[in-house]
Amino acid sequence: MMKTFLSIGSGPGIGIATATLFAREGFRVVLTSRNKHYVSEQVEALQAAGLQAEGRYVDASDINSIDELIHTVESQTGSVDVLHFNSAALHDGSLEAQTVEGFIQDLTVNIGAGFAAVKAVTPGMTERGEGTVLITGGIFATQPNADYLSLSVGKAGVRNLTHGLFDLLKDRNVHIATVTVGTLVAAGSDESHAVARTFWNLHAEPQDRWSAEAQYPAA
């Protein structure tokens, strides 16, 4: 049976590059975005290349839609074998410029949606005795920036989510891991493909060498 790779936040940089790599490695990929036209274009491009792909609409600021997405994909494909959480509110936001409401909404996208996705997908993985959860991290997790407060807090949050759950999920034969990205990644760039390969390498690690975090560029 073909395994399923679900991308939450299939943006034009890391998101689509990682999904494309997993598709080339034999996965059925499910792309998601708030932009239905963008998803349709990406699905058509992958299908034209002979790859298995489909698209779904999801809004990471709506926690219920995350849960519904995962259960729908599981019911239609049989499983979510690899989850890639790549959503983030990427705009700047300083102490003076960002409203409290906007900060909280950003944290819902950056952390809350990630937690919701992990919570929804891991029971099925645990039951099957295998699965991978991949989370896109960033250098602001360890080097926060005053002009990108919500993104800095968000990346620290998903990094701690990963490390905090690593041992627990490993005991259930589920590998959770993050790539801490320390450079700007443009659409279609060499960097986007290198980050995708880093995610693949984490997924492909033998269980006795599982790691919670990789860095790109490598430290």
The pLDDT-based confidence of 91 (bands split at 50, 70, 90) is confident
pLDDT tier at 132, thresholds 50, 70, 90 = very high
Cβ(39)–Cβ(57) below 8 Å = yes
The total number of structural domains in the chain stands at 1
The pLDDT assigned to 174 comes to 98
209 within 8 A of 201, measured Cβ to Cβ: no
Place of tokens 């729908």: 72
Q: Which domain holds residue 205?
A: 4-216
Q: How far apart are CA 148 and CA 69, in angstroms?
A: 29
CATH assignment of the domain containing 104: 3.40.50.720
Q: Is the pTM of this model over 0.75?
A: yes
Would the pLDDT of 90 be above 90? Answer: no
Average pLDDT, the chain: 96
115-to-72, 93, 173, 175 alpha-carbon distances in Å: 18, 22, 19, 15
For the chain, list the strands marked E by DSSP. 4-8, 28-33, 53-57, 82-85, 131-138, 174-181, 213-216
pLDDT tens by residue, 160-200: 999 999 999 999 999 999 999 999 999 999 999 999 999 99
Identify the residue whose tokens are 């491009």.
45
Q: What's the pLDDT tens digit per position in 40-61?
A: 999 999 999 999 999 999 999 9
